[in-house]
Amino acid sequence: MTQNPSKQPAQDFGGKIVALAGGVGGAKLALGLYRYLQSKNRAKELAVVVNTGDDMDYLGLRISPDLDTVMYTLADLANPTTGWGIKGDTAQALQMLGRYGHDNWFWLGDQDIATHLIRTRGLQTGKTLTQITDEMRTALGIECELLPMTNEPVRTIVETEEVGSLPFQEYFVRRRAADTVKSLTFEGIEEAELTDEVCHALTDPALIIICPSNPYLSIQPILAIPSMRKLLSSSSAPIVVVSPIVGGVALKGPAAANMRSLGGETEASALGVARVYAGFAQRFVLDQVDAEQKSDIEKLAYKVMVTNTIMKDDESKIRLAQEILEGYAAI
Ligand code: FO1
């Protein structure tokens, strides 16, 4: 890995940079990659493939939270406090729903509702989720590809110790991810097909980056699509994992608890994340606070780069992206 992130010029990647992402954590690195490539006039070389297992139908609307989180982030529209939703959005529609006595546990902003209306209408008129997403990202001025992992509906179902099985957003939002997850099912996964756009992005890419998203809830649904793993591992491009666990703590959400209950780990750690992708990914980006785990991760056949992976502002997101992109051949 380069120790000189300001090195110029950027190398010729010789193919697409493909990032696999979930919601807020993944969107941060996606933004760093996007901004960095944009500064080199190469934003079109980035394709972000996004989890749709968290999608749900709510009040007749199709909600794709992870796609929207990445889209709003790349369009510089995301709410900086939550990481999801639109900055400055209001909740008048939600309040009115409450007055009608309707459930309003899922926060839908007034501007955000426009996205769900367009998506729902598009699906009703026979467009694919990929087409609709492409139209929206174009309208918002996003220059890179933003690709749902599949066009078919896939739904993550969470089997909990406390209350049995729950649709993803019931577990995540309504019950605040407080339950112990025993197992996951991805409904519809067997029927889910790889889209032409995802296949195209993954044909001879230069690099595949697994963003610091929850390995079980966000990345596993993407990898569970039949043929996805095969396509990814048959590519000659290195697969780089950026750990979502730093100093034993999840950067966001329930990943640490999931590692214990789903991964069988006694403690959440970057090493545990490395175990999840062992034999599949070849490179690992480890935070400097976890540097003592480097040799154990190397024993799992990874080349390891140690750096500061905390993305607290745009500058740190771009710096991390630059280190990964400029150094990938070297690690
Ligand atoms: N997350 C919450 O914690 N509470 C919410 O009410 C909520 C609403 C919501 C609406 C639209 C959207 O695009 C995302 C939303 N999220 C909410 C985030 C979302 O549930 C999660 O970030 C992802 O599904 C997990 O990656």
- Check which CATH number belongs to the domain holding 260 and give it: 3.40.50.10680
pLDDT score recorded for residue 245: 97
- As a whole number of angstroms, the distance between CA 221 and CA 185 comes to 9
Return the ligand 1 atom nearest residue 115 CA. Answer: 13
Between the CA of 82 and the centroid of ligand 1 the distance, in Å, is 9
Between the CA of 252 and the centroid of ligand 1 the distance, in Å, is 12
pLDDT score recorded for residue 12: 65
pLDDT tens digits along 229-260: 889 888 889 999 999 999 999 988 999 999 99
| Helix orientation angle between 24-39 and 65-74, rounded to the nearest 10 degrees | 30
Pocket, ligand 1, Cβ cutoff 6 A: 22-24, 54, 63, 65-66, 68-69, 84-85, 106-108, 112, 169, 172-173, 218
Between the CA of 66 and the centroid of ligand 1 the distance, in Å, is 8
Q: What percent of the chain has pLDDT over 90?
A: 89
Residue at 80 is within a domain? no
pLDDT tens digits along 191-234: 999 999 999 999 999 999 999 999 999 999 999 999 998 898 88
| Mutational pocket test of ligand 1: of 29, 95, 107, the residue with most ligand atoms within 8 Å of the beta carbon | 107
Confidence of residue 1 (pLDDT cuts 50, 70, 90): very low
Return the ligand 1 atom nearest residue 108 CA. Answer: 10
Q: Where would I find the H helices in 52-201?
A: 65-74, 92-99, 110-124, 129-139, 168-169, 196-201
pLDDT tens digits along 157-176: 999 999 999 999 999 999 99
pLDDT average, residue stretch 270-279: 97
pTM of the model: 0.95
Has residue 145 got a pLDDT over 70? Answer: yes
* Exposure b/e, 62-89, CB count within 10 A at least 16 = b: bbbbbbbbbbbbbbebbbeeebbbbeeb
Between the CA of 172 and the centroid of ligand 1 the distance, in Å, is 8
Residue at 71 is within a domain? no
Residue at 159 is within a domain? yes
Q: Give the total number of structural domains in the chain.
A: 1
| Mutational pocket test of ligand 1: of 71, 110, 173, the residue with most ligand atoms within 8 Å of the beta carbon | 173
Look up the domain containing 192 and give its range. Answer: 5-55+155-327
User: What residues pair up with 278 in beta bridges, in sequence order?
Assistant: 281
- As a whole number of angstroms, the distance between CA 49 and CA 70 comes to 10
Residue at 135 is within a domain? no
Hey, how many other C-beta atoms are within 10 angstroms of the C-beta on 279?
9
Return the ligand 1 atom nearest residue 112 CA. Answer: 11
**CA-based torsion, 250, 253, 258, 260: positive or negative:** positive
Q: 149 with 219: CB under 8 angstroms?
A: no
Mean pLDDT of the chain: 94
Q: Which helix (H) or strand (E) holds 30?
A: helix 24-39
Residue at 209 is within a domain? yes
pLDDT tens digits along 18-62: 999 999 999 999 999 999 999 999 999 999 999 999 999 999 999
- As a whole number of angstroms, the distance between CA 68 and CA 70 comes to 5
